[in-house]
A and B are shown apart, each in its own frame.
Chain A
Amino acid sequence: MMSSATLIRRAAPVLACIGLLAVWQVASLALKNDSFPTAIDAIRAIPDILGDKESLINILASLRRMAIGFGVAVLVSIPLGLLMGRSRSVAAFFNPLLMVIYPVPKAALMPIIMLWLGVGDVTKTLVIFLGVSLPVIYHSFEGAKAVEEKMLWSGAAMGLSPARRLVRIVLPAALPEILTGCRTGLVLALITMITSEMIARQSGAGNILFNALDMGQYDTVFAMIIIVGAMGICLDAIFERVRARLVRWSEPQFDMPLSFS
Chain B
Amino acid sequence: MTVVPARSSEWVRPVRSQEPASAIIEIDRVSQVFQTSARKDHVALSDISLTIEEGAFVSILGPSGCGKSTLLYIVGGFVSPTSGSAKIKGHAITRPGPDRGPVFQEFALFPWKTVLGNVMYGPRQQGVRAAEAEAQSLALIEMVGLKGYESFYPKELSGGMKQRVALARTLAYHPEVLLMDEPFGALDAHTRTRLQNDLLNIWERDRKTVLFVTHSVDEAVFLSDKVVMMSKSPGRIREVIDIDLPRPRRRNELLLDPRYQKYIVDIERMFDESDEAGQAS
On whether the beta carbons of B153 and A154 are closer than 8 Å, the reply is: no
- Chain B at the A interface: SS class: loop
Contact pick for A158, options B106, B121, B155, CB 8 Å: B121
Known contacts A157-B101, A250-B155; is-contact A148 B106 (Cβ 8 Å) = yes
On whether the beta carbons of A250 and B111 are closer than 8 Å, the reply is: yes
Does B76 make an interface contact (CB < 8 A)?
A: yes
Interface-facing stretch out of B38-46, B55-63, B90-98, B262-270: B90-98
On whether the beta carbons of A173 and B97 are closer than 8 Å, the reply is: no
Determine the residue in chain A with the shortest Cβ distance to B101: A157
Determine the residue in chain B with the shortest Cβ distance to A151: B108
- Chain B residues with a Cβ closer than 8 Å to the other chain, count: 29
On whether the beta carbons of B98 and A157 are closer than 8 Å, the reply is: yes
How distant is the Cα of A251 from the Cα of B110 in the complex, in angstroms? 13
Known contacts A159-B98, A250-B155, A251-B155; is-contact A154 B125 (Cβ 8 Å) = no
How distant is the Cα of A12 from the Cα of B190 in the complex, in angstroms? 47
Does B236 make an interface contact (CB < 8 A)?
A: no
The A152-177 residues at the B interface (CB cut-off 8 A) are 153-154, 156-160, 169, 172-173, 175
The B79-99 residues at the A interface (CB cut-off 8 A) are 95-98
Does B104 make an interface contact (CB < 8 A)?
A: yes
Q: How far is the CB of B68 from chain A (nearest CB, A)?
A: 16
Known contacts A153-B76, A249-B155, A250-B155; is-contact A158 B98 (Cβ 8 Å) = yes
Does B100 make an interface contact (CB < 8 A)?
A: yes
On whether the beta carbons of A249 and B112 are closer than 8 Å, the reply is: yes
Does A150 make an interface contact (CB < 8 A)?
A: yes
Q: How far is the CB of B191 from chain A (nearest CB, A)?
A: 20
Contact pick for A172, options B78, B110, B122, CB 8 Å: B110
On whether the beta carbons of B175 and A157 are closer than 8 Å, the reply is: yes
On whether the beta carbons of A157 and B96 are closer than 8 Å, the reply is: yes
Does B279 make an interface contact (CB < 8 A)?
A: no
How distant is the Cα of A228 from the Cα of B118 in the complex, in angstroms? 44
The A168-205 residues at the B interface (CB cut-off 8 A) are 169, 172-173, 175
| Contact residues in B for A173 (Cβ distance below 8 Å) | 110-112
On whether the beta carbons of B98 and A154 are closer than 8 Å, the reply is: no
How distant is the Cα of A248 from the Cα of B111 in the complex, in angstroms? 10
On whether the beta carbons of A153 and B108 are closer than 8 Å, the reply is: yes
How distant is the Cα of A159 from the Cα of B96 in the complex, in angstroms? 7
| Contact residues in A for B108 (Cβ distance below 8 Å) | 148, 150-151, 153-154
Q: How far is the CB of B63 from chain A (nearest CB, A)?
A: 22
| Contact residues in A for B106 (Cβ distance below 8 Å) | 148, 150
| Contact residues in A for B169 (Cβ distance below 8 Å) | 154
Determine the residue in chain B with the shortest Cβ distance to A246: B112
| Contact residues in B for A157 (Cβ distance below 8 Å) | 76, 96-98, 100-102, 170, 175
Determine the residue in chain B with the shortest Cβ distance to A148: B108
Q: How far is the CB of B106 from chain A (nearest CB, A)?
A: 5
| Contact residues in B for A172 (Cβ distance below 8 Å) | 110, 112
Does B36 make an interface contact (CB < 8 A)?
A: no
Determine the residue in chain B with the shortest Cβ distance to A250: B111
Does B126 make an interface contact (CB < 8 A)?
A: yes
How distant is the Cα of A127 from the Cα of B108 in the complex, in angstroms? 40
How does the 8 Å CB contact mask read for A9-51 relative to B, with 1 for contact and 0 for none?
0000000000000000000000000000000000000000000
Does B184 make an interface contact (CB < 8 A)?
A: no
On whether the beta carbons of A154 and B126 are closer than 8 Å, the reply is: no
Q: How far is the CB of B96 from chain A (nearest CB, A)?
A: 4
Contact pick for B78, options A153, A160, A248, A251, CB 8 Å: A153
Does B173 make an interface contact (CB < 8 A)?
A: yes
On whether the beta carbons of A156 and B122 are closer than 8 Å, the reply is: no
| Contact residues in B for A153 (Cβ distance below 8 Å) | 76, 78, 96, 102, 104, 108
Determine the residue in chain A with the shortest Cβ distance to B127: A159
Q: A157-B97, A173-B112 are in contact. List 10 more A-B contacts (CB 8 A).
A: A148-B108, A151-B108, A151-B110, A153-B76, A157-B76, A157-B100, A157-B101, A172-B110, A249-B153, A250-B111
Listed from nearest, the 10 A-B pairs whose CB atoms lie closest are: A150-B108, A156-B96, A158-B122, A172-B112, A150-B104, A157-B96, A151-B108, A249-B153, A249-B112, A158-B125
Partner-B contacts on A (CB < 8 A):
148, 150-151, 153-154, 156-160, 169, 172-173, 175, 247-251
Partner-A contacts on B (CB < 8 A):
76-78, 95-98, 100-102, 104, 106, 108-113, 121-122, 125-126, 153-155, 169-170, 173, 175
A-B contact pairs, 9 of them (CB 8 A): A153-B96, A154-B102, A154-B170, A156-B96, A157-B170, A158-B125, A173-B110, A173-B112, A249-B153
